[in-house]
Structure 1
């Protein structure tokens, strides 16, 4: 029997995760992270060497959302990225509407 441990908690913006730490926090292989970085759907520095990658808490949240979409809907990485991007945009627009006084969002 194999028991898998997940890393959970709150990350601060000035704390950076390594490739291995991000993979462990998402319960995926580092190759999954690397593929998504090279595809441009994860991380903000796709041109940086893989060994030098550092990820922020926002990258961890995005990686977990991408993984959830891929697994739950058997979606490829491009489709998962599109869904996550659209959900982020909807959240951003609702926040903006709320700030502007439209409480129905």
Structure 2
């Protein structure tokens, strides 16, 4: 898959992605994702019976980090910090909107 292709769709909150599915959705190699998990940069990852499972929140974080690393040549730790800040902004906007989507 090329970086220029746009993926669209919707994830159900109760749906889980595998490591390979999440990597594909981020246009990244599974090894990239595994490194970030091992370094603690993607904290929302869960291992169930030895199989990694990821939520839609993790997908958003991983995509943001991948884009920051690719577009700005950011080191993984900086991309994770920016992703933390963006997640915090999302939460503040949601609480300011009274919990309703904008």
Shorter-normalised TM range: 0.7 to 0.9
Q: Deviations over 1:32-74 (max 9, x none)?
A: 110111111214246x48x510111111111110011111110
Q: Distance in 1 between matches of 2:76 and 2:85?
A: 14
What's 1:102 paired with?
A: none
Give 1 or 2: higher strand fraction: 2
Aligned residues: 95
Q: How large is the RMSD of aligned CA atoms in angstroms?
A: 2.3
Runs of 4+ in 1 over 4 A off after TM superposition: 3-7
- Find the structure with the greater CA-based Rg: 1
TM-score in terms of structure 1 length? 0.76
Specify every segment of 5 or more residues in structure 2 that has no aligned partner in the other structure, as ranges.
Answer: none
Contact 1:41 1:78 in 2 (8 A): yes
Contact 1:22 1:60 in 2 (8 A): yes
TM-score in terms of structure 2 length? 0.78
